[in-house]
Structure 1
Amino acid sequence: MEFQDQLQRQQKLNKTPERIISLVPSQTELLVDLGLEEKLLGVTKFCVHPATIRKEKKIVGGTKEVKIEEIKALQPDLILCNKEENTKKMVKELEKIAPVHVSDIHNLEEAYEMIQQYGEIFSVEEKASILIEKIQQEFLDFQQSIQHKKVKKVAYFIWRNPWMVAGGNTFINYLLNLNKFENVYENMERYPAIKLEELREVDYLLLSSEPFPFHEKYIFEFEPYINTEKIKFVDGEYFSWYGSRLKDAFQYFKKFHAEL
């Protein structure tokens, strides 16, 4: 079997993979939802869905650093990575062990493409198609629910010390736009560090649950720079995960808009 990943790299497999390692949390959850949990051997310490996965599978490191020898010992047929989550150096090392599929996702179409590729690679095409159709329907329903909403300016914080926000060319920024949120840092690349004293004017300041776990005790740090009533806490998984979590994301967005 030959396949092409989302970096247009050609890969060969002798058979449908039976031994899989996933180094991306959202893709781990996707594998489980596609019925492939039994074939999943290794995951990262950040793979938190389903809640039992880290107890049942071998933890082979994080997303930026992995234990190469432990991965080799698992004798995988295929290793799953992501361009943003994992490093180029890591992928090169992993390719010495087994074929590596690298995803690269900035929008829904690319998310659908990845799910479809997984369906073909793992011979679960029907489950993949059903999942894609579910996400598409949820997205259409969500679009209709906010069609009369006015665009609001937001800043989306992902990190503290240093303060970092989601900029342009990110999946987060794409989902913000789908929510009719204008990202005031869209003209900056990736995840820029900013100073709170230079905070741009916003209607809402969104504090994400991940990768930094923002919660109420951090609000006081923003008090000198913004009306804290504009601060809203958001579930970062729904704003940044691009696997099967998308099937629930748009219901979350509906609820979030209703509470604004």
Structure 2
Amino acid sequence: MIPRQTRIDAVGVTHPVVDFAHAPRIVSLVPSITELLCDLGLAPWIVGRTGFCIHPAALVKSIAKVGGTKDVNIGKLRALAPTHLIVNIDENEKPTVDALASFVPHVIVTHPLGPRDNLVLYRLLGSIFDRNEAAELLCTQFNCALSALREGRPQRVLYCIWKDPWMTVTRDTYIARMLEQIGWQQWSAQPEPASARYPVFSWSDQLVREIDMVLLSSEPYRFTEAHVDSLELQIGKPVLLVDGEMLSWYGSRAIAGLHYLNQLRQQA
């Protein structure tokens, strides 16, 4: 018997276990969850994805694209006749999800806020889609990676996700909580904006004094080593180019992300 509580999604909806006698048709609007579904062995039942769902490349290349995470082509998605739609509170817009819910029977809402929430996510999808054994294997791998983490020297960091305008993340984000695993604390404006989890900021002497290091993410903005060199000259503080997928993608990618944190700790 699959525990009922593992099938409750982020908005409190309890989903039934899929009967594979009636093959599900899954659309994922979340890149990291598309990858997770494939790692759970569900690729044959994924009929739609966003253009940002790029992993694993060999499996997703044959899956139809339905737009982006926010600019979903509702007509294309409807034509795929999905039985299940998987979305995320941060990445997908509620009016779009509400419109899709009018014709998709099962809308599974996710919202991991920190690394350990991946365990719940694995079991949520594993239990709904009858992949409990695969989900538990991921849980074991995640816990092993987490236990192997070593806290580094405390750092006050500024994680940048965009330029022109410059944008960062608040401490109430998955990214900031990943960094906390090695003792790195994300910079916070005082007072921290209540409504903006990805606030715009401006460089100032005070801000530079408040940080030890800047992290330039490889996504969504494509920061490069040229940006690193330029910013180091500008602010006189260490700047590190980091793999945004490793720090912001939850799901199965989070396991590699935890190993990546150990690498960052050693570089700093």
For residues 1-260 of structure 1, the aligned pairs below 5 Å read 3-11=7-15, 15-16=19-20, 18-98=24-104, 99-142=106-149, 145-146=150-151, 149-185=152-188, 188-189=192-193, 190-197=197-204, 199-201=207-209, 202-219=211-228, 221-223=230-232, 225-227=234-236, 230-260=238-268
Rate the CA distance shift 1:95–1:13 in 2: closer, same or farther, 3 A: farther
Rate the CA distance shift 1:69–1:226 in 2: closer, same or farther, 3 A: same
Find the residue that maps to 2:156 and give its secondary structure.
strand
AA at the equivalent of 1:27: I
**CA distance, structure 2, for counterparts of residue 197 and residue 49 of structure 1:** 38
**What TM-score, normalized to structure 1?**
0.91
Find the residue that maps to 1:80 and give its secondary structure.
strand
AA at the equivalent of 2:225: E
CA contact (8 A) 2:32 2:250 kept: yes
Moved over 6 A (4+): none
CA contact (8 A) 2:31 2:53 kept: yes
Q: Deviations over 1:97-123 (max 9, x none)?
A: 211101011113322111101011100
AA at the equivalent of 2:227: Y
**What TM-score, normalized to structure 2?**
0.88
How far off is 1:70 after superposition?
1.1
How far off is 1:218 after superposition?
2.0
AA at the equivalent of 1:67: N
Find the residue that maps to 2:72 and give its secondary structure.
coil
CA contact (8 A) 2:156 2:187 kept: yes
Unaligned stretches of 5+ residues in structure 2: none
AA at the equivalent of 1:6: A
**CA distance, structure 2, for counterparts of residue 240 and residue 14 of structure 1:** 29
Rate the CA distance shift 1:7–1:200 in 2: closer, same or farther, 3 A: farther
CA contact (8 A) 1:168 1:186 kept: no
Q: C-alpha root-mean-square deviation of aligned residues, in Å?
A: 2.0
The sequence identity of aligned pairs, in percent, is: 33
Residues paired across the two proteins, number: 255
